[in-house]
Amino acid sequence: MSDARQSSPSAARNREPILDVLRRVLGERARVLEIASGTGEHAMHMARALPGVSWCPSDPDASARASIEAWRAHETLSNVAPPLAIDVRDGDWNVAPPFDAIVAINMIHIAPWEATPALFAGAARLLGPDGIVFLYGPYKRGGKHTAPSNEAFEGWLKQRDPRFGVRDLGEVENAAQARGLRLREIAGMPADNLSLVFARA
Ligand SMILES: C[S@@+](CC[C@H](N)C(=O)[O-])C[C@H]1O[C@@H](n2cnc3c(N)ncnc32)[C@H](O)[C@@H]1O
């Protein structure tokens, strides 16, 4: 047992539905870069269920990286790499391409908007020709919330930092398009969240 291991109740709730989508959209043998891995629990869950997938977790926050490293030591999964310190807004993520997928779960609403175009800019640099970007989280449609729970959640986000907020799907799609990525799939998820899959246009 390591003190550094953190647990997120939402990760425990959403990891199985997210795995269902990833199992379908990732190839048998994919190299995945996860942005904003947080506690590291998604990395462990996906890597355990998808042994042919090589998973590189990352987070800009040192305590998150300590949690990921502690989970990694506990789970002894050979297909999870040590966590990288990546802030998507950095021009160089210091990681060798190509990746088959860039995964960001519950990240773009809890970071300033600049993180969204920066995420797609990094993906355009690092993805192979058939690579995908997978995003999971709540989204507005046509500028409007899709559920009262998402509206309440945005109130909580804005209290934390006024630059945070539930993003509009159309604006996210535009940011992807600016980097040559098109929205290939929208999958409805529990609790009024969406999984989005982007591929090179
Ligand atoms: C709500 S947590 C989500 C963690 C995990 N993906 C999950 O769903 O449990 C948001 C994460 O985004 C990370 N984050 C915030 N701004 C970021 C940025 N500019 N670049 C990369 N990660 C960022 C934070 O460090 C934090 O770990």
d(CA 100, CA 97): 9
| 15-66: pLDDT as tens digits | 999 999 999 999 889 999 999 999 999 999 999 999 999 999 999 999 999 9
User: What per-residue confidence (pLDDT) applies to 1?
Assistant: 46
From the CA of 135, how far away is ligand 1's center (Å)?
12
Residue 1 lies in a domain: no
Q: What is the mean pLDDT of residues 169-175?
A: 98
> Atom 27 of ligand 1 has which residue's CA nearest to it?
38
pTM of the model: 0.98
> Atom 11 of ligand 1 has which residue's CA nearest to it?
36
Residue 37 near residue 43 (C-beta atoms within 8 A):
yes
Phi/psi zone of residue 143: left (φ > 0), alpha (ψ -120 to 50 degrees), beta?
Answer: left
Residue 3 — very low, low, confident or very high, per pLDDT cuts 50/70/90? Answer: confident
Q: What is the extent of the structural domain holding 39?
A: 9-200
Residue 2 lies in a domain: no
Ligand 1 surroundings by CB, under 6 angstroms: 8, 11, 35-39, 42, 59-61, 64, 86-89, 105-107, 110-111, 115
Residues 6+ apart with CB under 8 A from 69: 4, 40, 82, 83
> Atom 24 of ligand 1 has which residue's CA nearest to it?
36
Residue 169 lies in a domain: yes
| 87-129: pLDDT as tens digits | 999 999 999 999 999 999 999 999 999 999 999 999 999 999 9
The CATH number for 189's domain is 3.40.50.150
Number of domains in the chain: 1
- Checking if the pLDDT of 2 tops 80, the result is no
- Checking if the pLDDT of 134 tops 50, the result is yes
